[in-house]
């Protein structure tokens, strides 16, 4: 019988979150469990936290994992918000060997975007759809007529002499103690710049910053429909689980 309940894990710079997902509906089957991302976030240290997360779920089976890096064939090709020792490391191999079960890994924003395209507000949307995940950094997932173009890094486009996520992410708001108006106008500036580059038809917002959408919605003036993700901060977990099962079929 085909496995339908899959553990999805969403790894971020500050937290590692997981839940069981019904991959037919995209629904979480339990409350998310969150553990702190270790510091330093080396492969060995992070694998132990992932192992503990699996133990807390009493889970055995294939695991889907969203990871904050460019991921090609399971290998990390960037490490902007995690320990640099991850560069060129096979993430799937490290986690599989530590946890004793198969892993399928993709970029964390791509996972969140895929969940929204499949189960959320991106479903049925034609044209160019971009999802921006707002957290420690700014992740991105780009879709053309529902098809993912993986490993975009629109949080790393240059703004004001630095990468955009240093200017307009949640961590930038917290670090500089910005109120919602000041930060909202910064984020709006970022969306206008993104529009110049890719001219999307629809923008989805995910990550931790999506749950605060009403706090800054009034400051967004970009002439493109912008909506928070239907799955909010759970999108990465759902997308990771669905991705893993799609490779097992």
Q: Tell me: the pLDDT tens digits for 73-89?
A: 999 999 988 999 999 99
Q: Which pLDDT belongs to residue 248?
A: 79
- Classified as helix, coil or strand, 162 is strand
Best CA proximity match to 218, nearest among 245, 181, 246, 165: 181
Q: Helix 91-99 and helix 43-57: axis angle, to 10°?
A: 50
Rounded Cα–Cα distance for residues 208 and 147 (Å): 24
Rounded Cα–Cα distance for residues 49 and 241 (Å): 18
Backbone φ/ψ region at 235: left (φ over 0), alpha (ψ -120 to 50), beta: alpha
User: Is pLDDT at 236 greater than 50 in this prediction?
Assistant: yes
User: Is pLDDT at 233 greater than 90 in this prediction?
Assistant: no
CB of 117 closer than 8 Å to CB of 130: no
Please give the helix or strand (H or E) that residue 7 lies within, else none.
Answer: strand 5-11
CB of 62 closer than 8 Å to CB of 249: no
The owner of tokens 């997308």 is: 239
User: Is pLDDT at 200 greater than 70 in this prediction?
Assistant: yes
Best CA proximity match to 32, nearest among 64, 65, 49, 10: 10
CB of 185 closer than 8 Å to CB of 178: no
Burial, 234: exposed, middle or buried (Cβ in 10 Å; 0-12, 13-18, 19+)? buried
- Classified as helix, coil or strand, 38 is coil
User: Is pLDDT at 1 greater than 60 in this prediction?
Assistant: no
Best CA proximity match to 207, nearest among 143, 115, 119: 115
Q: Which stretches does DSSP call E strand in 49-188?
A: 63-67, 71-72, 75-76, 103-107, 128-134, 138-144, 147-149, 158-159, 162-163
Residue length, the chain?
Answer: 249
pTM given for the model: 0.92
Six-digit token pair at 191?
């969306």
Beta pairing class for 103-107 and 63-67: parallel
In whole angstroms, how far apart are CA 38 and each of 7, 13, 35, 41, 46? 21, 9, 9, 5, 6
Rounded Cα–Cα distance for residues 194 and 157 (Å): 9
Span 19-32, average pLDDT: 95
Q: Find which of 46-55, 117-126, 231-240 is predicted with most confidence, using mean pLDDT.
A: 46-55
Q: Which pLDDT belongs to residue 249?
A: 65
User: Is pLDDT at 135 greater than 70 in this prediction?
Assistant: yes
Span 161-172, average pLDDT: 96
């Amino acid at each position: 019988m085909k496995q339908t309940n899959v553990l999805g894990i969403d790894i971020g710079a500050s937290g590692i979150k997981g839940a069981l997902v019904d991959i037919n509906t995209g629904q979480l089957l339990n409350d998310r469990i969150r553990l702190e991302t270790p510091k330093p976030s080396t492969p060995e240290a992070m694998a132990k936290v992932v192992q503990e997360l699996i133990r807390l779920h009493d889970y055995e089976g294939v695991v889907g994992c969203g990871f904050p890096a460019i991921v090609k064939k399971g290998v990390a090709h960037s490490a902007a918000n995690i320990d640099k020792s991850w560069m060129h490391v096979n993430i799937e191999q490290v986690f599989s060997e530590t946890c004793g079960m198969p892993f399928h890994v993709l970029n964390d924003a791509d996972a969140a975007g895929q969940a929204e395209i499949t189960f959320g507000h991106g479903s049925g949307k034609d044209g160019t759809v971009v999802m921006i995940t707002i957290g420690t950094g700014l992740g991105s997932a780009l879709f053309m007529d529902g098809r993912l173009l993986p490993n975009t890094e629109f949080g790393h486009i240059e703004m004001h002499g630095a990468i955009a996520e240093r200017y307009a992410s949640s961590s930038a708001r917290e670090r500089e103690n910005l109120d919602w108006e000041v930060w909202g106008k910064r984020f709006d500036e970022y969306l206008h710049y993104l529009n110049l580059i890719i001219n999307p038809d629809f923008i989805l917002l995910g990550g931790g910053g999506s749950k605060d959408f009403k706090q800054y919605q009034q400051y967004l003036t970009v002439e493109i429909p912008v909506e928070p993700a239907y799955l909010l901060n759970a999108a990465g977990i759902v997308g990771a689980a669905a991705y893993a099962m799609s490779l097992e079929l």
